[in-house]
Homo-oligomer: A and B are copies of this chain.
Amino acid sequence: MKFMKIPAATITRLSIYSRALEAMVDEGVTVVSSKHLADVCSVNPAQIRKDLAYFGQFGVRGVGYFVKELLFDIKKILGLNKQWNLAIVGMGNLGCALLAHQNFAKQGYRFACAFDADLMKVGRKLATGLLIHPVDELVRVCRETNAEIGVICTPPDKAQEIANRFLEVPVKAILNFAPVQIQVPDGCKVENVDFTVKLDNLAYHLTAG
């Protein structure tokens, strides 16, 4: 597979297609038309074909896509045919909620290590069996546990400092829940999670509906 510059939106949609295909596998669906897959994912069929065309030839004309096969291929494209190790920093309400959330393990993401700046929390064992390490040990522990993706759940004023420590590991991918922009050099990628973007969709529905 060649890696050309793929639009970020295409990658996000592939992720959404894979969720829909997983649900179909669970329901025992074996073949899906691009129209049906498009409906489920709220896109148009041409968009699905265009997104997939970046990566090769998929589906059978007049038949559609074989669900398991397409799911396998998309997971391979996204790099989800392996388990990814996460390092999480900030064991407040949000950090604890993420650790307990079923979606991560289901999608192949494993919390490999956890950190907090609060020495009262350090040394505590979480329900998952993970030990909370002090932030000072982040670089060493991330290396030892092969952490590949950093998850920041700290207050906003600590987020950049934690990102800097991740860069030292080096961890080259960061999921940031802190409501602040993090600066990283080229080669490192940050995704910011903002719950309110989805709320805007709902506000629009209520306004225009």
Chain A contacts to B: CB under 8 angstroms: 3, 6-9, 11-12, 14-16, 18-19, 23, 42-43, 77-80, 84, 86, 92-94, 96-98, 100-104, 106-107, 109, 148-149, 156, 172-175, 179, 181, 187, 189, 191, 193-209
Shortest distance between the CB of A33 and any CB in chain B (Å):
20
Q: Is the CB of B84 within 8 A of A199?
A: yes
Alpha-carbon gap, A162 to B149, bound state (A): 34
Q: Judging by beta carbons under 8 Å apart, are A42 and B200 in contact?
A: no
Tell whether, in the assembled complex, residue A203 and residue B84 are in contact, meaning their CB atoms are under 8 Å apart. yes
Instruction: Tell me the minimal C-beta distance from A17 to chain B in angstroms.
Output: 11
Report which of B93, B101, B204 forms a contact with A179, defined as CB distance below 8 A: B101
Judge whether A209 and B187 touch: CB under 8 Å.
yes
Q: How many of these chains are in the complex?
A: 2
**Pairwise interchain contact A201-B12, C-beta atoms closer than 8 A:** yes
In the complex where A93-B96, A103-B194, A179-B102 touch, is A200 in contact with B156 (Cβ < 8 A)? Answer: no
**Contact status A201-B11, CB under 8 Å:** yes
A198 touches B202 (CB 8 A): no
Is the beta-carbon distance between A195 and B103 smaller than 8 angstroms?
A: yes
Say whether A196 contacts B103, CB under 8 Å. Answer: yes
**A42, closest chain B residue (CB):** B8
Q: List 8 A-B contacts (CB under 8 A).
A: A7-B42, A77-B204, A93-B97, A98-B195, A104-B199, A149-B199, A149-B206, A191-B199
The interface residues of chain B lying within 8 Å CB-to-CB of A198 are 175, 191, 193
Bound Cα distance A33, B86 (Å): 38
Tell whether, in the assembled complex, residue A202 and residue B175 are in contact, meaning their CB atoms are under 8 Å apart: yes
